Structure 1
Amino acid sequence: MDQNTLIGIAVQAMIITAKLAAPMVLTALVIGFAVSLLQSVTQIQEVTLSFIPKAIGVAIALLVCGSWMISEMVTYTELLFKQIPSLLNG
């Protein structure tokens, strides 16, 4: 296995990781921004107020995007398994 192949696999892994994490991260970002905006408008400074909406939002994002995430991960894993013979032969 040469250096370029290893870098290609690492780049693919980082891309799939970013794609799989994006729905939860963006959901938490949007909900956190909305709660922070609401807190600044109403001047309610409770730190724990944003935790429950974020947790519920991320859970809903997992329910909505879960099957897509699993299919992406299975596709990537199958691609890696198909590359094993060529990686071992060099």
Structure 2
Amino acid sequence: MNSQMVLTMGQEALLMLLMVSAPVLGAALLVGLLVSLFQAVTQIHEATLAFVPKLLAVIAVFAVAGPWMLTMLVEYIRRVIEAIPGSVA
């Protein structure tokens, strides 16, 4: 295993992490922005008001995109495990 192979595997791992986490982080960001806007308009400053909608949005995204996320991770792990014999020799 040379340094180029290690860098390529690291780059693929980071890209996979970004792709899998993007829907969850995007939903939390969007809901957080909407709740903050609502709080600014109504002048309600309650910390728990921001937490519950974000939690519900993240759960909904996991329910909708969870199978896709799991499939992507399983395929990536399968590729990594299948590449082990070629990288050791």
Q: TM-score, normalised by structure 1?
A: 0.96
Matched, 1:46 2:46: yes
Residues in 1 aligned to 2:81 and 2:69: alpha-carbon distance in whole angstroms: 18
User: Take 2:84 and 2:78, find their aligned partners in 1: how far apart are those partners?
Assistant: 10
User: Deviation per CA, 1:16-43, whole angstroms, max 9, x where unpaired?
Assistant: 0111111110000000000000000011
For structure 1, the 5+ residue unaligned runs are: none
TM-score by length of 2: 0.97
Higher relative contact order (CA 8 A, sep 6+): 1
Q: Structure 2: state its 5+ residue gaps.
A: none
Query: Identity over the aligned pairs, expressed in percent?
Result: 34
Q: CA RMSD in A?
A: 0.6
1:87 partner letter: S
Give the letter for the 1:40 counterpart: A
Matched, 1:7 2:7: yes
How many residue pairs align between the two structures? 89
Cα deviations by residue, 1:38-81 (Å, 9 ceiling, x for unpaired): 00001111111110000000000000001001110111011111
Write the distance in 2 (CA, Å) between the matches of 1:6 and 1:50.
Answer: 41
The equivalences for 1:3-82 within 5 A come to 3-82=3-82
Counterpart CA distance in 1 for 2:67 and 2:22 is: 14
